[in-house]
Structure 1
Amino acid sequence: MKSVNEIFQDKLKNTIYTEFMCKKCGKPINQTSITRSSTCDFCGADLHSCINCKFYSKGSHYDCRETVDELVKDKERANFCDYFSVAAITSSGSIATDNKAANAKAAFNALFGD
């Protein structure tokens, strides 16, 4: 019988794409590093933007789960945020999170079903 951790890891492997997606057009991002000047190869959208960041959370303080000091007004434009980390997209289309609550919920669902 598998442990809770093994079940959780199996579920996580089957849930997250290995590629990142542009939140503007939904196409895969094939770049290995994202800089402030990086743009999507398909639609030309800025990639170093709030909407492509794993910390973007509409409704949070400044729409960010990090403790940013300044408001970024245009969430789709390139910015200088030091917290930027490109967001992995799950098979359901939502941003994959690495927080403890989400991990615990996924482990629970893996054990007892969705």
Structure 2
Amino acid sequence: MNCWHCAIKIEVIAGMDRVGFRDECPGCGRAMHSCRNCGFYDPAYNNSCRETMAERVVDKERFNFCEYFAPGDAAAKPPAKTKAGAQGKLEALFKKKS
């Protein structure tokens, strides 16, 4: 699986290893057992989860005790470091014309 935050590859052997409820990413220290690292995580679904029996989790980036957690295999993208691109587009949109 890949960490949702830093995109580091984390070796999890299917059927052998389980991601513990309190395990942390060796790269960034973020929660590994979180919705963002789960294979069922999908923002397009109700509660951002494709597993219909899972209980609602409010903070998708923190540790949780969901029993349906399955390590995700989607490639993660590192988070944007700055908002300069979006800020620049917003300023250009509302720029006063002389």
Q: Which structure shows the higher strand fraction?
A: 1
Uncovered stretches (5+) of structure 2, i.e. residues with no partner: 78-98
Q: Which structure shows the higher helix fraction?
A: 1
1:22-37 superposed matches below 5 A: 22-30=3-11, 32-37=17-22
Contact 1:62/1:68 (8 A) holds in 2: no
Shift of residue 33, structure 1, vs aligned partner:
2.8
CA distance in 2, matches of 1:53, 1:65: 10
1:42-53 superposed matches below 5 A: 42-53=27-38
Q: How many residues align?
A: 73
Shift of residue 61, structure 1, vs aligned partner:
1.1
State the Cα deviation string for residues 46-81 of structure 1 (Å, max 9, x = none). Answer: 000000000001021111000135321110001011
Uncovered stretches (5+) of structure 1, i.e. residues with no partner: 1-19, 95-114
Fraction of identical pairs, as percent: 38
TM-score, normalising length: structure 1 = 0.58
Q: Please, what is the CA RMSD of the aligned residues?
A: 1.9
2:46 matched to 1:65?
no
Name the CA shift for 1:69/1:53 in 2 (closer, same or farther; >3 Å): closer
TM-score, normalising length: structure 2 = 0.66
Q: Which runs of 4+ in 1 moved over 2 A?
A: 30-33
Name the CA shift for 1:69/1:50 in 2 (closer, same or farther; >3 Å): closer
Contact 1:40/1:47 (8 A) holds in 2: yes
